[in-house]
Structure 1
Amino acid sequence: MIHSTKDNLQVLFEDNHLIIVNKRPGDIVQGDKTGDNPLSEVVKQYIAEKYDKPGAVFLGVVHRLDRPTSGIVLFARTSKALSRLNKMFAERETEKTYWAIVKEMPPKTEDNLIHYLARNTKQNKSYAHDKQIPDSKKGILHYKLLKSLDNYFLLEIKLETGRHHQIRSQLAAIGCPIKGDLKYGFDRSNKDGSIHLHARKLKFVHPVQREEIIIEALPPKDPIWDACL
């Protein structure tokens, strides 16, 4: 798996306040106990060199994607943008669209899924329940079947809530684990450790200039993703 460096970073949008990149599967957005170089540091290095900035570069992490997932990640370049974006994400004023590839045909071609998600921190896994249980949080998403491939199905997912591993957990709960996602019941892993879940589109209002921004990101190069385009 090729991890992001400042030289291969796929920048989708940048201005004085924001930078949006297409994350590769395998990259971590923020530093964790693995000690691997996070995407946030790669982006800081890119900004420092491109704009010849001495000293520390400010970069705010607005949201995250799971390590094996690919797609759109938005960072803030100013503290003003960061605080406004944090508020927008918390109040669900952004529209996030994901693509997922599953092996099983979903029960319906289009549906709203509502589950109560309970997170197990030791396993780093969330369990989807039909009814509320202690410490669970409501998870809501809408999925639509976009394409039937030879052996797989492409789903478009719109999130109404942003819970830990929400898409992975909820799709597994309807018998449609995502390709490569061993943790949530797929039968084998992808060779590169990725899963076929991609943050495809992000729609939001610019935190400073106030105009609407719509960003799309191509999925990683691979025969199954290529068949979806």
Structure 2
Amino acid sequence: MADLLRPEIIYEDNHLLVVNKPAGVLVQGDITKSTTLLEISKAYIKEKYQKAGNVFLAIVHRLDKPVSGVVIFARNSKSAGRLSEAFRERKVEKEYLAICEGIFKIKKGTINESLFWDERERKAKISNKAESRVAITHYEVLEEFKNLSLVRLIPETGRKHQLRAHLSYIGHPILGDEKYGGVRIFKDKIFLHCRRMRIPHPVKKEIMEFKTEVPNFWSEFLKIKI
């Protein structure tokens, strides 16, 4: 499995493994039985450190399958608990880049629309239902070209499909995101990338920042350097 797809390691120590997730790869398994980032990363740890038996690696957050970027795994249960708490308490800063359809009239702003997860359709919907959850996304247009916009996104909350649903709601779906009204480009990739994440280290307590560049397919498709 390690030879099938080796993870791109951003950072590792005894407590963390930070990986650049490719678009089109699941973080965790589903009914498709596809090879996951978790399995690939466990295989990497097992091979590198010659570990006997099972490798412990815990998921503390997720990126959707078609999304790329920074993913953090915990390498022990104490770190898993502390990192999960940091995510719940919004002590983690996340920054995304997206290519969105159209030109924004308002170049910088905040989308504050509650979301309801529709399990039947497997998508997030803007809703005022009692069971809806507060969702807040800050955005800023960085560049415009070819009736497309390069946008920086800072999610204040971490709802499932939040960025995809919010951008669709304001009329600027993410390029390639057919599920939310975008034009399909690739089967399992969209132009959404988690570029940067800042977290409190679960043991050292210092603030750690992890960054990664957008995938090559962005520039190859757009014929410009991002």
TM-score (ref. length: structure 2): 0.94
**CA–CA separation in structure 2 for the residues paired with 1:18 and 1:6:** 23
Question: What residue is the counterpart of 1:160 in the other structure?
Answer: 156
The amino acid that maps onto 2:208 is: I
Q: Deviations over 1:62-92 (max 9, x none)?
A: 1000001001100000111101001000000
Cα 1:203–1:4 shift into 2, 3 Å: farther
Q: Deviations over 1:36-68 (max 9, x none)?
A: 111101100000000111111000101000001
Asked if structure 2 preserves the Cα contact closer than 8 Å seen for 1:219 and 1:225, the reply is no
Cα 1:4–1:224 shift into 2, 3 Å: farther
Q: Do structure 1's residue 214 and structure 2's residue 212 form an aligned pair?
A: no
Asked if structure 2 preserves the Cα contact closer than 8 Å seen for 1:4 and 1:24, the reply is no
Pick from 121, 125, 128 the counterpart of residue 127 of structure 1: 125
Q: CA deviation at 1:152?
A: 1.4
- Which sections of structure 2, spanning at least 5 residues, go unmatched? none
The amino acid that maps onto 2:115 is: L
Asked if structure 2 preserves the Cα contact closer than 8 Å seen for 1:200 and 1:216, the reply is yes
Larger deviation, residues 145-154 vs 50-59: 145-154
Q: Deviations over 1:184-226 (max 9, x none)?
A: 011x312342110001100111110112111111111022577
**CA–CA separation in structure 2 for the residues paired with 1:218 and 1:226:** 16
What is the count of residue pairs matched by the alignment? Answer: 224
Q: Do structure 1's residue 177 and structure 2's residue 173 form an aligned pair?
A: yes
**CA–CA separation in structure 2 for the residues paired with 1:169 and 1:226:** 27
Asked if structure 1 preserves the Cα contact closer than 8 Å seen for 2:100 and 2:174, the reply is yes
Asked if structure 2 preserves the Cα contact closer than 8 Å seen for 1:154 and 1:228, the reply is no
**CA–CA separation in structure 2 for the residues paired with 1:51 and 1:102:** 42
Question: What residue is the counterpart of 1:58 in the other structure?
Answer: 56
**CA–CA separation in structure 1 for the residues paired with 2:55 and 2:166:** 38
> Percentage identity across aligned positions?
38
**CA–CA separation in structure 1 for the residues paired with 2:6 and 2:81:** 29
**CA–CA separation in structure 2 for the residues paired with 1:24 and 1:200:** 12
**CA–CA separation in structure 1 for the residues paired with 2:117 and 2:208:** 33
Q: Do structure 1's residue 113 and structure 2's residue 128 form an aligned pair?
A: no
SS in 2 for 1:227: coil
**CA–CA separation in structure 2 for the residues paired with 1:226 and 1:55:** 46
Cα 1:9–1:53 shift into 2, 3 Å: same
- Which sections of structure 1, spanning at least 5 residues, go unmatched? none
Question: What residue is the counterpart of 1:22 in the other structure?
Answer: 20
Cα 1:85–1:226 shift into 2, 3 Å: farther
Q: CA deviation at 1:112?
A: 0.8
Q: Flag as ranges the 4+ runs of structure 1 deviating above 4 A.
A: 3-7
Q: CA deviation at 1:151?
A: 3.4
**CA–CA separation in structure 1 for the residues paired with 2:91 and 2:134:** 18
Q: CA deviation at 1:148?
A: 1.3
Cα 1:6–1:216 shift into 2, 3 Å: farther
Asked if structure 2 preserves the Cα contact closer than 8 Å seen for 1:25 and 1:69, the reply is yes
**CA–CA separation in structure 2 for the residues paired with 1:109 and 1:56:** 49
